[in-house]
């Protein structure tokens, strides 16, 4: 198994460790519920160094990203981050990702850990077709960087202690390269995250990992910062109804079916792979759609549980499910057949030998997030 630059700290703290995407990662430290609440109400510190990063540089950078991703890169400006996906040649999704624009010729693509090799092969194929230099104009730097996600309402206030740059007023989904952050020569700082709790993500070289980790913990101490594992990362993202690749989206799912039409832009010049297929789905509709739901009966929905209507007919399948630490009820996401998407629709989740009542809700599922503290 691979390790991150922070693995030794997790082990020293007694974290429950397990393999994830080929890495030895912390699943929990003090407990999933405890860590979840800390992130929602104070600050949670996540090791997300397993994520992948590709530099895209040069004269063809814009055209390449416009070709390989579904969103409209022309909407980006220097210092803006964009959520997007890689459409594949079968009408599905290679991966979902973040696109960072630093200037017109310099971009960073941040991809999911489990898909790094697949994503790199896909991007390299398209880059080669466009005559780009692999390893130069497009470069896989995933093994060189470490990354911490600092999430929660007090995250930016705490991190402001570590730099003279104004970060507390940065808008959501923006980024900057900062020199002398916590004594580190240069880092990438972005107001992004996978929790819906506010905060930031910080990228540094592996050689600076120990200095970064220590400084972040010290800066967050007065606000009750806690290490958080992948267990709470999953419950946090699910309360926000954020898609997880492999569960909610995959190689066979269109972004239109997944409710990601807002990152699939059918504008002039955005000729991504299988554009016509996805545009047809947007115009003519789909047979299934990813929806969010909350349990009415007591029960915890899980991945691949079947869903039924009130007559017992099978109408869908759960993609992600858990017990919400904030709401104290079962919540989930699912693909449902047409006719069952309206908010308030009653559905029934097959849990063990019972069909337990649930209700379709609008996203995000949890709507009580505390405001960011400045």
DSSP 43-106: -EEEE-TTSEEEEEESTTHHHHHHHH-SS-GGG--TTEEEEEEEE-TTSSEEEEEEEEEEETTE
Could you give the C-alpha distances from 367 to 281, 301, 325, 362, 363, in angstroms and in order? 30, 20, 13, 10, 8
Could you give the C-alpha distances from 374 to 40, 76, 110, 181, 317, in angstroms and in order? 16, 26, 27, 19, 42
- The token duo for 293 is 């739901």
SS3 273: coil
Residue 31 near residue 235 (C-beta atoms within 8 A):
no
Would you give the DSSP letter of residue 229? -
Q: What is the pLDDT of residue 115?
A: 98
SS3 127: helix
Tell me which residue has tokens 């709470």.
232
- The full set of domains in the chain, from first to last, is 7-49+143-239 (3.30.1360.120), 287-374 (2.40.30.110)
Q: What is the pLDDT of residue 23?
A: 98
Per-residue confidence of the chain (374 residues) as pLDDT tens digits?
999 999 999 999 999 999 999 999 999 999 999 999 999 999 999 999 999 999 999 999 999 999 999 999 999 999 999 999 999 999 999 999 999 999 999 999 999 999 999 999 999 999 999 999 999 999 999 999 999 999 999 999 999 999 999 999 999 999 999 999 999 999 999 999 999 999 999 999 999 999 999 999 999 999 999 999 999 999 999 999 999 999 999 999 999 999 999 999 999 999 999 999 999 999 999 999 999 999 999 999 999 999 999 999 999 999 999 999 999 999 999 999 999 999 999 999 999 999 999 999 999 999 998 888 98
Q: What is the pLDDT of residue 369?
A: 86
Q: What is the pLDDT of residue 189?
A: 98
- The token duo for 200 is 């930031």
What are the phi and psi torsion angles at 266 (to 5°)?
Answer: -95, 70
């Amino acid at each position: 198994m691979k390790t991150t630059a922070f693995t030794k700290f997790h082990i020293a703290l007694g974290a429950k460790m397990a393999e994830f995407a080929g890495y030895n990662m912390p699943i929990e430290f003090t407990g999933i519920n405890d860590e979840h609440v800390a992130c929602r109400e104070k600050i949670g510190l996540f090791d997300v160094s397993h994520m992948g990063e590709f530099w895209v540089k040069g004269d063809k950078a814009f055209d390449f990203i416009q070709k390989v991703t579904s969103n409209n890169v022309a909407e980006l400006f220097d210092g803006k981050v964009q959520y997007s996906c890689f459409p594949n040649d079968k009408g599905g999704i290679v991966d979902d990702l973040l696109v960072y624009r630093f200037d017109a010729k310099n971009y960073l693509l941040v991809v999911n850990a489990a898909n790094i090799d697949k994503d790199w092969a896909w991007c390299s194929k398209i880059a080669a077709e466009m005559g780009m230099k692999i390893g130069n104009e497009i470069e896989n730097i995933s093994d060189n960087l470490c990354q911490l996600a600092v999430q929660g309402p007090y995250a930016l206030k705490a991190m402001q202690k570590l730099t003279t740059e104004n970060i507390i007023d940065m808008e959501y989904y923006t980024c900057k390269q900062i020199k002398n952050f916590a004594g580190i020569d240069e880092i990438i700082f972005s107001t992004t995250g996978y929790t819906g709790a506010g905060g930031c993500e910080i990228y540094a070289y592996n050689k600076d990992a120990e200095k970064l980790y220590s400084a972040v913990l010290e800066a967050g101490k007065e606000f009750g910062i806690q290490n958080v594992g992948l267990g709470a990362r999953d419950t946090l993202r699910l309360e926000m109804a954020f898609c997880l690749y492999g569960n909610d989206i995959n190689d066979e799912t269109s972004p239109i079916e997944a409710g990601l039409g807002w990152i699939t832009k059918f504008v002039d010049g955005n000729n991504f792979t299988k554009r016509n297929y996805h545009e047809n789905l947007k115009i003519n509709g789909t047979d299934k759609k990813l929806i969010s739901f909350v349990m009415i009966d007591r029960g915890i929905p899980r991945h691949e549980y079947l869903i039924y209507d009130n007559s017992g007919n099978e109408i869908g399948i759960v993609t992600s499910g858990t017990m919400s630490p904030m709401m104290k009820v079962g919540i989930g996401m699912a693909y449902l057949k047409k006719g069952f998407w309206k908010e308030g629709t009653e559905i029934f989740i097959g849990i063990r030998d019972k069909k337990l009542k649930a209700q379709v809700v609008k996203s995000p599922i949890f709507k009580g997030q505390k405001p960011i503290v400045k």
